[in-house]
Structure 1
Amino acid sequence: MKGPDMRKLYFVLLIIITIGAVLMPESSLPCTSLLVTRGASADGSVMITYTCDGEFHPHLGYTPAGDHNPGDSIEITSWGGKVIGKVAQVPHNYSVIGMMNEHQLAISETTFEGREELENRDGLLEYWDLIDLALQRTHTAREAIHLIAELAETYGYRSTGESFSLADVNEAWIMEMIGPGPGGKGMEWVALRLPDGYISCHANKSRIGEFPLNDTLNCLYSKNVISFAVAKGYYNPDAGTAFKFCDAYCPDTPQNRRYADTRVWSILRRAAPSQNISSDYNRFVEGARPYPLWIKPDKKLTIADVFALMRDHYEGTPLDMTKGVDAGPFGSPLRCRPMTWTADSVEYGWERSISTPQTAFSFVSQSRAGLPDAVGGVFWYGLDDTYSSCYVPFYCGINAVPESYTVGTLKKFSWESAWWIFNLVANYAQLKYSYMMPEILSVQREIEGNFLAAQPEIEKTASALSQSNPALMTNFLTDYSVSHAELVVNRWRDLATYLIAKYNDGYVQDSTGRAREMGYPDNWLNEVTKSRPNRFNLVPK
């Protein structure tokens, strides 16, 4: 298959991702990512996560491996489909499922934008082009970093500031980049390898501060990353302070602390509660120090632990979005956009949680040494809000994806679209969140628990087949991933119809099918009567 045709298959996913990102206002920049090293995971997996947040309908993409002729090229197009340039094709590209390739390399991102004047629309490649090409052309995170930098230097970088998470079977890296400004060449960037046994995360704000200049095992960077900042006036070497990438290219503000650092804080505090990580920094308390780039978790994390870390509304903290009058009578963490508003000349803002109804899709990737690549790499994929969704395992060696994950449009509801089914359940739950969400989570935990319990036997069988009959192994894993994904969608359809019938017109059906009046919680009724005294009195006073 020729490069341009193959590229279109994969870009079904990435184009939709980015349209959502491009259309989102600054106050609601999308995405959160967590990185877990081998030594920090319970089973030796390297894991990264991604929440792609925005109001759009994603399709799960698959790119088959392919061979190409000398002189072949890949067309780079604008959103309108206009060809804006070409990139030379390679002799062979690797297969990709979602954002993980056949060699267990996974890449995710969050956009930090940074200094607006450094965006270079004269460059050819957007950040999603770099992810796409790196997944199709490299085996490891380190190789991907070198290729990304090389492509940006050759063809130009077109996007704003980005943080990439990269994972292979041995290492996890954070790479941060920003453009050179209009007409400039390449990009300024730095990449750090996480120390084994540690975790890190980022959420729409640059996180890399100081970095070693003479440690190529653990740190890579562009040759002008410091001198460019000096020339632009972003850093003064005579000031007596160390150069920090984040300070130079993504200056700290009260807004990005609250919007981005609050999510970072919540992941770190939950992974290492013994460290008593304070919220002071994200609340802009004077003298509070930035959060560390990485920490050692209190215990090694399982895949279920990582799922849980990506499901968070700051529960149990003073920022708990399920509490207060703003959570409504049934404790919903939903906050409709926009994120900010003004009343009596005072600006206010909702919290931005890790779990949000505006998530289009999310993933957790597992990359594991000691297993055949086709078996060791698992792309756990979920649609819509992470809190109410269900992660389904897609092995990186499969050669097809379920149809329900590839159809549908935001313009029209469809029972055939997996995304719409998950979206329907999540949205309907807002009517009586405290009642319906426990029922949804019960189904979620049952299904994910079954997947995790079956995983060792599935992989034992697949590993044996990889030695005796690799083609049969591919068919086995493809059938398992695709058929079970469709079973999950069917279960969610049943869940939707069950919830619609049980929670209808404000009533709640009991076990006999009788509609019961449940009313509102006392604490919320008290807030109502306080806010509107004498309005609801049945006997005038």
Structure 2
Amino acid sequence: MEYNKAELSACTSILVGKKATIDGSTMIGRNEDAQASWPKHFVVHPHIEHTTAQTFVSKANGFKMSLPQEQFKYTATPEWTTKEGLFEEDGFNEYGVAMSATESAYANETVLGADPLVEDGIGEEAMVTVVLPYVKSARDGVARLGAIVEEYGTCETNGILFSDDDEVWYMETGTGHYWVAQRIPDDSYAVVANQLAIQTIDFADSDNFMFADQIAEFVETNHLNPNPQTFNFRKIFGTQTLSDEHYSTPRVWWGQQQFSGFTDESPMSEELAFIKKANRLLSIDDVKMYLSSHFEKTPYDPMNESSQNHLFRPISLAKTQESHILQHRPNLDPTVACVQWIAMGVSAQSVYVPFYLGIDETPEAYQLGTLPYDGNSAYWVYKLVSVLVDGHYKEFGKQLQATQKQVNITLNKGLRDADQQAQSLAGVELTKFLTQTGVALSNQALSAYRKLTADIITASTDFSRLNFKTDLNL
């Protein structure tokens, strides 16, 4: 089976500043949406100090660049096959820098005509691999990727998420060589859905904005700004189409309605703000809820019987390969502070399993999974439940929800207990403990889902069309 991920990728992202969260965490998260059946793995790359020059060459489009000889330890969720490229997508490095790439977006024909995309420039497939192992802060990540885009060009229009213990940044590549980035204010959040989202750029505010050299001159020289009194990146570089209003803006609208309170704004509005303040402090559970949502309690929910139930593209959908949340908690060593929550498969029907940055290996089930189905793979364990439940949601939906609730309680308690035990450990002992914790918690979740699978299959045997109510006297 072959496919072009660049043509299919369509994700949803969330970013939350440290003063907007209930415990002072920074959080970034994203659903990696591309194809309904395309396994993901979860791996740890060790710290390596190479003795020879290093070069990256992309299998996706031939993008090529030199790399530093020192590679920091980092985690990632690559594809099951490298045939179409790596697509490592998300992870933490040993300095507690988090990166998620990418949120696919679209630029308009006018700006692309002035600076076309570069066919062999950097794309989603390569970004985590050539950036995350080489930076020591979120701001460094933006600067490194920005420099790469300016030098080599990019083959796609994308949004990229970065965070560390202090800052959260959202970066957007607009055309072949031009990009901007904005720091999410500490007391705010942002949700993004396949559109260029960043609005007004303040070129004098280097604390909160970063951008490509000469971007202002590029826009002015090519007469690209429809409102010259300000510099609104979304208005200059982005699109406003009927497709956007059905595919993208409703997901942003739903998140803002959930976190900032209900308004009379339309789900199809092209004027929704990028940066918002929540009406409460947000928790990890709020972020999980958003990435797992599908317009619940509205006519737009695909799970209900409304005539509008497929009017808008939901946040969680069948094409989600994996969903992740990168949480950096305060006042802890990065090995314990940084938790990578991973939900394999469809986030609405999966669970987010926490893994500490301090692990030196991932569970075996997370290193497995190919095509076709493989029952030993974590991806396929969660995906199988989705397939079974989808056919009989009325019969098994509540059972799925009950399993999710119990597993979430178990995982949350397990993480809290592990946090306490980790305080008395260091060095090799700490690494071993954190690794074992990841294995234990993931096994608990997988066991619960395997039991759910067995229960559903057993109950489903009575759904055959060949059933007939037989008279026992015959």
Aligned to 2:88: none
What's the CA shift for 1:251? Answer: 2.1
The 10-residue stretch of structure 1 (248-257 or 481-490) with the greater mean CA deviation from structure 2: 481-490
1-side partners of 2:451 and 2:140: how far apart? 45
2-side partners of 1:159 and 1:416: how far apart? 36
TM-score under structure 2 normalisation? 0.88
2-side partners of 1:119 and 1:111: how far apart? 17
CA contact (8 A) 1:33 1:50 kept: yes
Aligned to 1:292: 273
2-side partners of 1:254 and 1:488: how far apart? 41
2-side partners of 1:445 and 1:20: how far apart? 36
What's the CA shift for 1:132? Answer: 2.1
**Partner SS, residue 304 of structure 2:** coil
Aligned to 2:103: 110
Verify: 1:223 aligned to 2:204, yes or no.
no
Verify: 1:498 aligned to 2:459, yes or no.
no
Aligned to 1:3: none
Verify: 1:248 aligned to 2:208, yes or no.
no
1:23-172 equivalences in 2 (<5 Å): 23-24=7-8, 29-55=9-35, 56-69=38-51, 71-79=52-60, 85-98=64-77, 99-108=91-100, 109-115=102-108, 117=112, 118-154=115-151, 156-172=152-168
Q: Deviations over 1:331-354 (max 9, x none)?
A: xx7xxxxxxxxxxxxxxx742101
Give the letter for the 2:12 counterpart.
T
Q: Which has the higher contact order (CA 8 A, sep 6+)?
A: 2
Correspondence for 1:318 among 291, 299, 302: 299
Correspondence for 1:234 among 214, 217, 224: 224
2-side partners of 1:263 and 1:52: how far apart? 15
CA contact (8 A) 2:93 2:133 kept: yes
TM-score under structure 1 normalisation? 0.78
Aligned to 2:440: 483
Give the letter for the 1:144 counterpart.
G
What's the CA shift for 1:19? Answer: 6.1
Correspondence for 1:266 among 254, 257, 263: 254
Give the letter for the 1:103 counterpart.
Y
Compared with structure 1, are the counterparts of its residues 59 and 516 closer, same or farther at alpha carbon in structure 2 (3 Å cutoff)?
farther
Compared with structure 1, are the counterparts of its residues 79 and 217 closer, same or farther at alpha carbon in structure 2 (3 Å cutoff)?
closer
**Partner SS, residue 387 of structure 1:** helix
2-side partners of 1:91 and 1:388: how far apart? 39
Verify: 1:200 aligned to 2:190, yes or no.
yes
1-side partners of 2:11 and 2:224: how far apart? 26
1-side partners of 2:155 and 2:299: how far apart? 36
CA contact (8 A) 2:138 2:167 kept: yes
What's the CA shift for 1:241? Answer: 4.0
What's the CA shift for 1:240? Answer: 4.8
Identity %: 23
Aligned to 2:404: 444
Aligned to 2:264: 278
Correspondence for 1:188 among 175, 178, 188: 178
Highest CA radius of gyration, 1 or 2? Answer: 1
CA contact (8 A) 1:67 1:92 kept: yes
2-side partners of 1:114 and 1:433: how far apart? 38
Compared with structure 1, are the counterparts of its residues 79 and 127 closer, same or farther at alpha carbon in structure 2 (3 Å cutoff)?
closer
The runs of 4+ residues in structure 1 deviating greater than 4 Å are none
Verify: 1:178 aligned to 2:174, yes or no.
yes
**Partner SS, residue 366 of structure 1:** strand
Aligned to 1:370: 331
The 10-residue stretch of structure 1 (111-120 or 127-136) with the greater mean CA deviation from structure 2: 111-120
What's the CA shift for 1:222? Answer: 1.3
CA contact (8 A) 1:94 1:135 kept: no
**Partner SS, residue 185 of structure 2:** coil
Please provide the CA RMSD for this pair: 2.5
Provide structure 1 residue ranges, at least 5 long, that are not aligned to the other structure. 1-15, 181-186, 328-332, 334-348, 508-514, 518-541
CA contact (8 A) 1:76 1:86 kept: yes
Q: Deviations over 1:85-107 (max 9, x none)?
A: 34132334233344222222112
1-side partners of 2:63 and 2:25: how far apart? 39
CA contact (8 A) 2:121 2:155 kept: no
Aligned to 2:245: 257
Q: Deviations over 1:397-432 (max 9, x none)?
A: 11111121121223x112111111211111111222
Give the letter for the 1:313 counterpart.
H
Q: Deviations over 1:454-493 (max 9, x none)?
A: 3233112213213xxx111001000110232133223212
What's the CA shift for 1:21? Answer: 2.7
Give the letter for the 1:214 counterpart.
A
Aligned to 1:21: 5
**Partner SS, residue 251 of structure 2:** helix
